[in-house]
Amino acid sequence: MIAADLISLKTLDAPFDQNVFRPWLRSLLTAQLDGMTLVSTHEQRPNNWGTHAGAARAAIAAYLGDSAQMTRTAQVFRGWLGDRTAYAGFDFGSDLTWQCDAAKPVAVNPTACTKSGVAIDGALPDEMRRGGTFAWPPTYTGYAWEALQGATLQADLLRRAGHDTWNWSDRALLRATRFLYARAGWAADGDDEWQPWLIDRRYGSAYRAAAPAQVGKNFGYTDWLYAP
């Protein structure tokens, strides 16, 4: 969707865009994907699957100009960032040891969250559990940065649609980034290298490494697009 928008497919090949590409995009929202759909994955899975699905959903909505789909995507994403009053329909499974409040699980731990005297504000509980139940220091897992790939792109697509995503839930994405760098000591590398360039642009932080940044699974070239 991003590539098609970049080359202005709607003017480059209007018949293909209208008769083939747009209907195909619409079908992706409800296509069966291992027993789920893009929409149900976004609304049920609080992990990397869900965030990538949300980014794809937002991109489809943006390309099609589907404001209702974009509004629903924003509502679910707001819940993912920690606002349970906006949305709380995720399935977090049985291991809730990384949650601050197991009775009210969230995808990004809230501000000032601590557990056993350890600050886990900004941690992504459903990804941290991939390294095991709560323990400090945590066992390394790449899933936390992987989930942020979908969340970071989702945030910026929604921002372009007029939503203040980067500030939602006390700047949840900045807190998640800070937790990984400052608390866990896990810098973005490999196909996660693109994320700090965009995060730094939105927050004025300085987490990016030297260019070039490797492209990710859903976005890239951020060291060119978002360089200071």
Domain boundaries, the chain: 2-225
pLDDT value for 189:
97
pLDDT value for 96:
98
Render pLDDT for 7-47 as a digit per residue (tens, 0 to 9): 999 999 999 999 999 999 999 999 999 999 999 999 999 99
Query: Phi/psi at 150 (nearest 5 deg)?
Result: -65, -40
Q: Residue 21 burial by CB count (10 A; 0-12/13-18/19+): exposed, middle or buried?
A: middle
Average pLDDT over residues 144-162: 98
For residue 90, how many other CB atoms are within 10 A of its CB? 21
pTM as predicted: 0.97
Q: Is 212 helix (H, G, I), strand (E, B) or coil?
A: coil
Average pLDDT over residues 183-212: 98
CA 133 to chain centre: 23
How long is the chain? 228
Cβ distance 75 to 168 under 8 Å?
no
